[in-house]
Chain A
Amino acid sequence: MSALVVRALRHITFSGWGTAFPALELDNEEVIRRLPSTFSSGRELDAERIAFLADGFRENSGVSRRAWAHLVGQPLDHANEATSATLGAEALRRALEVAKLDPKELSLVTVATSTPHRMTSTVSADIAARVGADCAAFDSRAGCASSLLALTTASHYVSGGAEHVAVIGAECFSKIIPQDSKVASLSLGDGAGALIVSRGKGSLVSAYHRTDGTLGKLVSTSGALPPVAEDIARGGFVMSGDADELLSAIPGKYEEALASVLRDAAGPIDWYVPHQTSIPLIRKFASRVAAKHAFINVEKHANIGAAGTIVALAEALAAGHIGSGTRVLSAAVGGGMSWGSALYEL
C-alpha cells in the first residue's frame, strides 16, 4: 500500500464560503410519488404506503429532501437546466463576497465533480470564466473524495505562497440517476459549495488519500466516451454498480483514512465535518474519533457527491461552528473507489 500522506501545511485559512442549489426541491414523498413504476408491483401507491416508504427511508438514512437540477425520468433539457458549472459559479460568487475578494485576486480555481457538463474543456475553466477570474484552473476527479483531494491540493499551493485559491465541489447527479432506481433517486441530490483557501494562521495538520481502481465498478457510468447510441440505450451513461458491495466496503475505508490522520492529531477534535451520506454513518465515525460535535446536513441535501464535504464545511463555517482555533476533521469515501481524510487546525 502506498497512500498519499500529507502533513503540516502551514499558513492556511478559509476566508470565504458559499453554496448553491437548484430551485427544484423534493421531499421523500414527492420522489416516491413521481417514481411509482420503480416499485416492483408497478401499481399506483396509495398515500399511506408512500408516507410509510418516505419515513422508512428517512429513518434508515436521515435524508428527508434534496434539490435536483433535472427531474429524473424526464428528457434532459441541457439549455435550461442548471449544470455543475452554473451551480459552482453561483457558489463561488457567494464565497468571493464573504471573502470580500475580487475574482481577479484568485490564483487558482479547482473543481471537484463527478458530473461535468461536458467531456472537455473543464468545469473549472467554465466557472473561472463565468465569475471573471483570470488564473489557473483544473478539475479534480476522485469521486466523492475529490472534494478533500482538491482541498489538500489547494492547501499545498497556499502553503507554498499562493494568496487565494477557490475550491469548489459541484454535482448534478439528477442527470445520471437511472430512472428505475428508487434508492438512487432518494439518496442523491444536486448542489455546489465553494471555499476560498487563503494565506492565514491555520494549518492542514494531516491528510490521507488513496484510490483502488479495481473497485471502480462498484459505482460508475459504464459507457465509453465519446458516447455511442448502443451505450446510451443500455444505460451506459447513468449510474450503475453494486450498491450492496459498495456499502459493505465503505466503513473500512473510513476506518483506514481516519486512522491515518488521527495518528497525527495531538489533541481533541472539535468538529467532525465529513462527506454526507447517512446520519448513522456520520454518527458512528464521529463517535469513533471522539469528536465533540458532528456536522450533519444530509437530511436536507442528500448525498451530493464531490460537493458534499465542501457544502458541509461551507455551512459549518457560515453557522460559526468552525473558525479560528477550531480543529476540524473531515473524511470522504466514494466512487473510484477513492477515500481520504483531512485534519485542519484553523
Chain B
Amino acid sequence: MASPEDIKQKVVEILMNDFRIPAAKITDDATFRGNLGMDSLDAVDLIYLIKKTFALKVQTQDFRELHTVKQVVDFVVKQSTT
C-alpha cells in the first residue's frame, strides 16, 4: 500500500507531467481552477488520471467537492485504506 507521501508525490507528478504545471505552484492549498489555471475539462482529465493511477473504484461526482491538491491527496489516501 502506498504511503501518503508516495500518493502526494504521484499527484504532483501528474500535475507536472500531464498539465505542465510548475512544481513551485503545486502547494497543498493550491486550487485547481484558480491557482493552477486548470479549466473544467482539465478537471475531468485529472479525475481520469487519478482514478487510473491509483486504481480507484469511485464515481466522478465523488470528486465534485475536492478543490485543492491536499483535498485530492487526502481523498486518495482515504480510498486506498478502505
- B 1-40 to A, binary, CB cutoff 8 A, 1 in contact else 0: 0000000000000000111110000000000011000011
- Are the CB atoms of A41 and B19 closer together than 8 Å? yes
Q: Is the CB of A53 within 8 A of B41?
A: yes
A56 at the interface (CB under 8 A from B): yes
Nearest CB to that of A244 among chain B residues?
B33
Q: Is B44 an interface residue (CB 8 A)?
A: yes
Q: Say whether B45 faces chain A, with CB atoms less than 8 Å apart.
A: yes
How many residues does chain B have at the interface if contact means C-beta atoms less than 8 Å apart? Answer: 16
**Residue A74 CB within 8 A of the other chain:** no
- Whether A183 pairs with B20 at a CB distance below 8 angstroms is no
Q: How far is the CB of B52 from chain A (nearest CB, A)?
A: 8
Question: A60 and B40: CB pair below 8 A?
Answer: yes
Are A53 and B48 within 8 A (Cβ)? yes
Does B40 contact A183, Cβ atoms closer than 8 Å? Answer: yes
Q: When each residue 29-68 of chain B gets 1 if its CB lies under 8 Å from chain A and 0 otherwise, what string results?
A: 0000110000111101101100000000000100000000
Q: Are A39 and B45 in contact (CB under 8 A)?
A: yes
B48 touches A186 (CB 8 A): no
CA distance A214 to B57 in the complex (A): 46
- Shortest C-beta distance, A82 to chain B (Å), equals 27
| Alpha-carbon gap, A277 to B47, bound state (A) | 23
Q: With the chains together, A318 CA to B7 CA distance in Å?
A: 55
Across the interface, B20 reaches (CB within 8 A) one of A40, A56, A182, A243, namely A40
A254 within 8 A of B: no
- Contact indicator A57/B44 (Cβ below 8 Å): yes
A331 to B19, CA, bound (A): 37
Which residues of A sit under 8 angstroms from B40, Cβ to Cβ?
57, 60, 183
Interface SS of chain A: helix, strand, loop or mixed? Answer: helix
CA distance A305 to B67 in the complex (A): 30
Q: B20 contacts which chain A residues (CB < 8 A)? A: 40-41
Return chain B residues, CB-CB under 8 Å to A186. 41
Inter-chain contact B41/A182, CB cutoff 8 Å: yes
Say yes or no: A243-B39 contact (C-beta < 8 A), given A40-B20, A59-B60: yes
* CA A231 to CA B39, docked complex, whole Å: 25
Q: For the complex, what is the distance from the CA of A56 to the CA of B33, rounded to whole Å?
A: 16
Whether a CB of chain B sits under 8 angstroms from the CB of A49 is: yes
Residue of A nearest to B44 (CB): A56
Considering the chains assembled together, what is the distance between the CA atoms of A218 and B34 in angstroms? Answer: 16
Residues of the A chain whose Cβ atoms lie less than 8 Å from the Cβ of B18: 39-41
B-side residues, CB < 8 A to A, are: 17-21, 33-34, 39-42, 44-45, 47-48, 60
Taking A40-B21, A41-B18 as given, write out 12 further A-B residue pairs in contact, using a Cβ cutoff of 8 Å, ordered by the A residue number.
Answer: A39-B45, A40-B18, A40-B42, A49-B45, A52-B44, A52-B47, A52-B48, A53-B44, A53-B45, A56-B60, A59-B60, A186-B41
10 inter-chain pairs at a CB distance below 8 angstroms, sorted by A residue, are: A39-B45, A40-B18, A40-B20, A40-B42, A41-B18, A53-B44, A182-B41, A183-B39, A183-B41, A244-B34
In the A-B complex, the 9 residue pairs with the closest CB atoms: A56-B44, A40-B19, A41-B18, A52-B48, A40-B20, A183-B39, A182-B41, A183-B41, A53-B44
